[in-house]
Structure formats: C-alpha cells, structure tokens
C-alpha cells in the first residue's frame, strides 16, 4: 500500500500554462508538506499544512497555491508556469508538527518548455 502518493509522476507543459499536482496520504497524519528539488538536487520547503491549515509559506511566488480539502490531501496548483518552475516536487506528511519522521511521495517531475 502506498503511503504518500502523487499524481502525475511526470508533467511536461508550456510556459504560461496552469497545472496541478495532487498528493494523498493514507497514514492518518495531521501535517503535510510540499518541497521543491532543483536540478542540483537541493531540497527546500515550500508549504506546510497542519489539519488543513497553512502554517508555512516559505516565500513562494503567489503563482503557487496549495489547497488542502481534507487532512489526507494536499494539492499544488501553479499558475502561469515559468521555465524556472522546472523541478521535482515532493509531497510529504508527518504524524504532526514536531521532530517526527516525514514520509515522502515519489515526486512529480515538472518540465516547463
């Protein structure tokens, strides 16, 4: 059984388009995250949600809008895609906020042409 799943796994699109990435966790966790991994493998937090409430927005452009319809889902919508948005996006979840293990999804590789 997949703990944290993301769709799609690959996303190729043109500049200016709007796209969404979906994330679901079946672990019963309260907290979910979005991370961005750039071409040099550097990972950085984008957003964190706890019980459907946004608790971290790490200076991400407002073209990125996360939405959490319930505790098990955290989707990422990106408007007006730019070349610099090309990266791998990882969703993660943890039991709650704190020094707990974060479980990562398989990632979505976004390529903007």
Residues of the shown chain interacting with another protein in the complex, contacts defined by CB under 8 A: 4, 33, 35, 40-45, 48, 50, 55-56, 58, 90, 92, 97-99, 101-107
Nearer to another protein, 14 or 39 (CB): 39
3-state secondary structure of 54: strand
Nearer to another protein, 2 or 79 (CB): 2
Residue 91's CB: how many other CB atoms inside 10 A?
28
Min CB(52)–another protein separation in Å: 15
For the chain, helix, strand, coil in percent to 5 are 5, 55, 40
């Amino acid at each position: 059984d997949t703990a944290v799943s993301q769709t799609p796994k690959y996303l190729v699109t043109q500049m200016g388009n709007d796209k969404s990435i979906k994330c679901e966790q079946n672990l019963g966790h309260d907290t979910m995250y979005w991370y961005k991994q750039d071409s040099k493998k550097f990972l950085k937090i984008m957003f964190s949600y706890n019980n459907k409430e946004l608790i971290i927005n790490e200076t991400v452009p407002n073209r990125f809008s996360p939405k959490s319809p319930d505790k098990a889902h955290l989707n990422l919508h990106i408007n007006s895609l730019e070349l610099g948005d090309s990266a791998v996006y990882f969703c993660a979840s943890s039991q709650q906020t704190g020094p707990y293990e974060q479980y990562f999804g398989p990632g979505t590789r976004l390529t903007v042409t």
